[in-house]
Structure 1
Amino acid sequence: QSKYFGLEFDPSHLVFQFIDYIAVLKKFGGRVYHTHCKDTEVIKDRLSYVGYTGSGWWRFRIPGLGDIDWRRFITTLMEVGYDYVLSIEHEDPFFEGVEGFRKGLLIGKKTLSRYLP
């Protein structure tokens, strides 16, 4: 039960596992010490063709370009007492190179900023 042991929470990994990231956050929120903000886009047409054991039916995206409800996620973070850093983790294949990274960061910042106090 050490106060020095906590979690780095990244909802994007739970999305492609079909795990309710809000329920997990509510359960373990008091132990979250760092948060990665990366979105996940589920490509439903591809998923319906290859199934969840197939490949290519999901991809990481910049926050706001996938399936995560950022308003609900950030609201829940605040409800569980999280008041630390939101780190935008960039793995979006559509925003590559220096200019792509810059553009992606600005999109992510704009998306997340809408829901911050």
Structure 2
Amino acid sequence: MIANYSFYTLPALVIVTYYLYYYKGYLVVKQTGKWNNINPRDNVNKAKGQINQEVWRKAKCCEAAHQNVYNSIYINNESAGVAGLRTFFWTTSMGISFALYILVAKKAKKGLH
């Protein structure tokens, strides 16, 4: 039986896609020591005067490459509690998605019986 790796492609794509987000965060935190989880998309702009311009430009490129329409929580969020909840639900949903794809891939590898 030929291995079917297609089930692993979505988790791999998500990891590759979010690399830019985490790399941007790494750049900002390394230079400033701060990260604002209430409004994470504004961290690079707020850090502009605190980090060197080369790092800032690289972080802006990462941000531009990664930005997408996430959901209304970003629009309506004004507290650390909601930011934490958003992070929890996002992490949980990603974990469930990964688990399901991996289970399907394992089942397909064994053969559907």
Q: Which structure is higher in RCO with an 8 Å CA cutoff and minimum separation 6?
A: 2
- Normalized against structure 2, the TM-score is what? 0.25
More strand by share: 1
More helix by share: 2
